[in-house]
Structure formats: structure tokens, C-alpha cells
Amino acid sequence: MHDEDYKRRYVFGADYGTSEFKYGPITQGERPLAVENRGYFPEKSVLSQIMGADHEVVVGKDVTLFLESGAELATRLVYPMREGIVMKDDARAWKVVKELTHYALEEFRPKGWGFNGFYVVAALSAVAPRYMYERLFEIFDSMAKEVGLVHSATIIPQPLSVAIAHKKTSCVVVESGHGNTQLAPISRAPIRGAVVALNRGGSDANAIMAEILKDAGYGDLAGEEALVRKVKESLGLLPADLDPAISFAKSNPEAVRAVYAVPGTRLKIELAENSWTRFLVGEYVFNPNHEIFQSYFKRGMPRPKDTKLGDVVFYGTMDVAEAIITAVEKCPVELQPLLYSQILLSGGNFSWKVPEKLKGICVDSTTKVKRMMTEKGIENVEVNMASEPQYSVWRGCIVYGYAVPAGYNWSWEKMEGWMNFYK
């Protein structure tokens, strides 16, 4: 089979998101498979050896089968990319990344003759340092030599992948995942000097949701991260304007009441008289500077802080509109109007629903950003939501892999091309 034909047949996308790892070959169509980007290190025991369940690290859907007491979760459950970055010397985190990679590729290993490994397109955070590229290529090399699952691999920044999926050559991609939010102006390629990162993402919305659950009498559940995320996705709301939304909720409590029934259990979670706090969850993602959040900080909830990882500063409390403006104003003045007219939101952290009975009180993410930009004096703004925002990075991986010629070798100078492992 010709190299180009082989590549097109076996392109494989791998989006290393902070919360979910999304993966699959081109044959998946529009949606990849997804598992939580985490690994569990079970305690070694004679019983586990007898039962054939003696694993150093467990990933994927099997993690649930190995979970032990709640007290053990904090030390044994590892989320390797909480800020989109795996620290260079974090051995356990890199073991999880390697095991997840193997898990995903093995799931789609074709049967029969003629398979020489996938052409893997991996997507990392726009702020991922070079050593992450190097370590991931090492993992792909091992997947080629040890189990024959990788033919060639390439790595692209997640915002660029979103732009590719939507055929946008000039735009600002705002990719908000579990651990952080990346804002990347793109003019045929990411303008690296203009990338802005926020130390805020879905995990921070989870944090405020956990505090709300404590206040509502569910303190025993607030430490279960996966459950808190499900409650957030079900009950969290994004207000058009926080103060009027809270006033409406307190005057019309029945309008904002909702119940989350935990699937497969008898547990039902209801915020009752605290239902107005549902609006805090979405607002916190876009602007944590409102004075109402001060009480949570005083009680011990961590305030998003400016953090420096390598050469990158992750801003803690900068609101989303200010971050967009900061990124755009790092670009040439001539390009700025075009960038403001092509703002593209992507990532699960922007997937806020607007209940029919709360239209006008609640808004979607595009409307929220437009309102915030207008308040800051930026007009002629056009904001769009990525189609399938949770999967747009993966889709861009597939498009990119299909388009890059098989003979185009990796260049560390340009950070593009295929690293070949098949001999």
C-alpha cells in the first residue's frame, strides 16, 4: 500500500485534555471515544495477585472497578494534566499518560495482516513546554517498538487544532478545558507571543460547586470529584448578569429549583433554598472578581492565583473578556479588527445550557462573551461556538493528519511534520 494511502487509512487523533482524553481513528466519524484523563495506582496485595488484578496503574473505564475508600483517592488517583502541563519529573503522571496512550491505541488495533501502526496526531495545551513534546514522542517510540501500535506521530497545539477543524485561518481560539483556559490568536499558525493562559477552567467551576454542595448539606459528597462535575453540568447556570439573576432567583425560587438524580443510586441532590447559587457556577468561569465570591475565599476555597510554569504566566482572576483583549493587543494593530471578528469558543467549559423557562436570565457562552466585550468598549465583535465544542480538538487532529503529507518529516524548528518510528 502506498505511504499516503496507508496514512489516510490509519490516522489516529489523541486529544490530551485536562479532564478527558479523547481518542480514535478517522473511522470514528464525528465523535471520538472519551475516558477521564486519570490513572489509579491500586494498593499491592496478595488478593489482587490471586484474582489476576495486580496492576501498577489502571486507566480508562476500569478505574471505577479498582477504586477503594474515599480516603485513598487523594493519593492513588492521579490526574496528570491538571493545568495542561505534566511536570518533567512527575514519574507517576507520565506513567498514566503512557498507559492511556497504550489503552487508546490497543482498543482500535485492527485485526489481520498489513497493519504497521497508526499515524498519531496528538494535541497538547498551547502552553505545553518542549519537554512534553519530547516525552510524548518517547512514549510513541515505545509504542512502536514494544507493541507495534505507532507508525509515525506528530503533535499540535489544541487551539490550532480547533482552528483547523473549523477552517479558520485568522481567529482567536478560546479553548477552555478542565484545568485551564488558553487564548490563542491565530494567523495561519498560533502567534505564540500573543498566547494568554488563565489558571481557571472546569476544575474551578467544580470547586465552587463543591462549596455550594457543602452549604446545601452534601459535605460528604463534595470530595468526590467525578460526582461534583456531574452535578455542576446538571445544575450549573450561566447568568447574563449575576446580580439581577440572583434577585430573580430569590424572588422566584420555584423557577430555579432543580434536582440531580445520581444514576444507578437512590441519591437525589437538591439545592432547595440555595438554588440561587446555581448562577455562581457559570459566572465564576467567566469572572471570579465579583464580590460575592469573597465569602468563599474567606472560608478557605482557593482563589485562582497567577502562576508561572516555565516561561508561561497563568493569570488567576483575569476575566475572559479582558484575557481576549490582552491576547489580541499583543498582535499587530492591523490584524486586531479581524481577530475580534473571529472569536471561536471551544471546550467543555463553555457548554452551558439555557433552560427554556430561564431564557434572558441565563445565556450561552457566546452571548456572555459578547456582553462582556461590549462592556469593555470593544465593538464589532463576532463570537461563535465550535461545533461539538468538546470534540473539536480531536476533529482538528484528524483533518490535520489527513492533510500533512506522509513524507513531511518532523522539524523541531517549525514544530510540525511526522516523527517516523516504523522501520
Domain with 354 in it: what CATH number? 3.30.420.570
Structurally, the chain folds into a number of domains equal to 2
Q: Are residues 234 and 277 in the same domain?
A: yes
Question: Percent of the chain scored above 70 by pLDDT?
Answer: 93
Q: Are residues 372 and 411 in the same domain?
A: no
Q: Are residues 146 and 255 in the same domain?
A: no
**Domain limits at 258?**
197-310+314-385
- Calculate mean pLDDT across residues 95-101: 95
CB 369 within 8 A of CB 383: yes
- Phi and psi at residue 295, to the nearest 5°: -65, -35
Residue 56 located in a structural domain: no
Minimum mean pLDDT range among 28-32, 73-77, 221-225, 323-327 = 73-77
Question: Percent of the chain scored above 90 by pLDDT?
Answer: 64
Residue 203 located in a structural domain: yes
Q: Are residues 204 and 294 in the same domain?
A: yes
Q: Tens digits of per-residue pLDDT, 223-251?
A: 888 899 999 999 999 999 999 999 999 99
pLDDT at 52 over 50: no
Q: Are residues 352 and 401 in the same domain?
A: no
Q: Are residues 331 and 402 in the same domain?
A: no
Q: What is the CATH number of the domain that holds 145?
A: 3.30.420.40
pLDDT at 48 over 50: no
Residue 180 located in a structural domain: no
CB-count exposure of residue 188 (10 Å: 0-12, 13-18, 19+): exposed
Residue 67 located in a structural domain: no
H/E run at residue 148:
none
The three cell numbers of residue 10 are 490509519
Averaged confidence pLDDT in the chain: 89
- Calculate mean pLDDT across residues 145-154: 95
CB 268 within 8 A of CB 259: yes
CB 382 within 8 A of CB 342: yes
Residue 150 located in a structural domain: yes
Q: Are residues 110 and 225 in the same domain?
A: no
Spatial distance between the Cα atoms of 54 and 250, rounded to a whole number of angstroms: 53
The three cell numbers of residue 12 are 489516529
Q: Are residues 230 and 344 in the same domain?
A: yes
CB 161 within 8 A of CB 126: no
CB 236 within 8 A of CB 229: no
Residue 321 located in a structural domain: yes
Torsion, Cα of 394, 398, 401, 402 (10° steps): -170
- CA dihedral over 399, 150, 158, 334, signed as positive or negative: negative
Q: Are residues 370 and 400 in the same domain?
A: no
Residue 406 has a pLDDT of 93
Which pLDDT band, with edges at 50, 70 and 90, does 105 fall under? very high
Minimum mean pLDDT range among 55-64, 294-303, 326-335, 365-374 = 55-64
Residue 67, CA distances (Å) to 39, 60, 261 in order: 11, 12, 22
Q: Are residues 206 and 341 in the same domain?
A: yes
pLDDT at 46 over 70: no
